[in-house]
Amino acid sequence: MNFTKKVVLTYAKSLFQTFKGKTTETPFEGSFNLAKITSSEINKQIPDIYVIGEELLFLRSLLLSSKTISQFFQNPTYSEQKKLDLILSIFPGLTISLQSFLKVLAERSHLSLLPEISEEYTKMLFLFKNLTTVKIITASPLKENSGNLLLNVLKKLTGSKEIILNAFYNPKLLGGLVIEYNSKTIDASLLKEFQFFFNEI
């Protein structure tokens, strides 16, 4: 593990641990309001792990939204204060807790690490909620009535309570499907079978 990865993990873990005990019983239901973070009023909301996660996702999307903005945050010739000012001008209503976290990042010249911190934080949140993102690639479009059955199979396969399913269609597979989750791949496509067959000839 390189130094940058260790720094990113340390930031994400410390942020997650700080708000882990402040979790609401009903996540994602009214706990986050986009209007609050774009409002010029100070957001005095006491955040939980979900609100912090949502705010980090918005900051990540800001830093990755265009090549120009990404280069601005990567460029060491621009002061960290200018970078912080830009974030706070776009999202003036960020919770005070996250604003404090951003000031720490600015003091250490680490604002450019926000996308990676957000990504690691999201992984921790998914693990905490026993939630898995699954990518499924099929040779033909999925039928509407196959959704519930497929989700139940994927829950058993991954051992998760909840699944976020990203479905893709690729006719080159010829038949079958490919499932990807947690850095694992299950290739049950006809294309793979044909490759095995031709390799043996």
Q: Which residue has the higher pLDDT, 132 or 41?
A: 132
Residue 67, pLDDT above cutoff 70: yes
* Domain 3-126: assigned CATH number: 1.10.520
Q: Which of 124, 133, 123, 119 lies closest to 60 in space, CA to CA?
A: 119
Instruction: Give the model confidence (pLDDT) of 184-193 as tens digits.
Output: 898 888 777 7
Cβ neighbours, 10 Å, residue 73: 19
When mean pLDDT is compared over 9-13, 133-137, 159-163, the highest value belongs to 9-13
Cβ neighbours, 10 Å, residue 191: 16
Please report which helix (H) or strand (E) contains residue 11, including its range: helix 3-20
Instruction: Give the model confidence (pLDDT) of 27-66 as tens digits.
Output: 444 445 555 555 556 555 678 888 899 999 999 999 998 8
- pLDDT for position 200: 62
User: To the nearest 10°, the Cα dihedral for 32, 129, 149, 156?
Assistant: 170
Coil, helix or strand at residue 189: strand
Which pTM does this prediction carry? 0.71
Q: Which residue has the higher pLDDT, 45 or 116?
A: 116
Strands across the sheet containing 184-189: 162-169, 131-138, 176-181, 184-189
Query: For residues 125 and 50, is the Cβ–Cβ distance under 8 A?
Result: yes
Q: Which of 139, 48, 164 lies closest to 97 in space, CA to CA?
A: 48
Break the chain into its structural domains and give their ranges.
Answer: 3-126, 131-200
Query: For residues 79 and 109, is the Cβ–Cβ distance under 8 A?
Result: no
Q: Which residue has the higher pLDDT, 34 or 18?
A: 18
- pLDDT for position 28: 45
- pLDDT for position 37: 59
Residues 6 or more apart whose CB falls under 8 angstroms from that of 44 comprise: 96
3-state secondary structure 43-75: ECCCCCHHHHHHHHHHHHHHHHCCHHHHHHHHC
Amino acid at 60: R
Percent of the chain with pLDDT over 90: 38
- pLDDT for position 26: 47
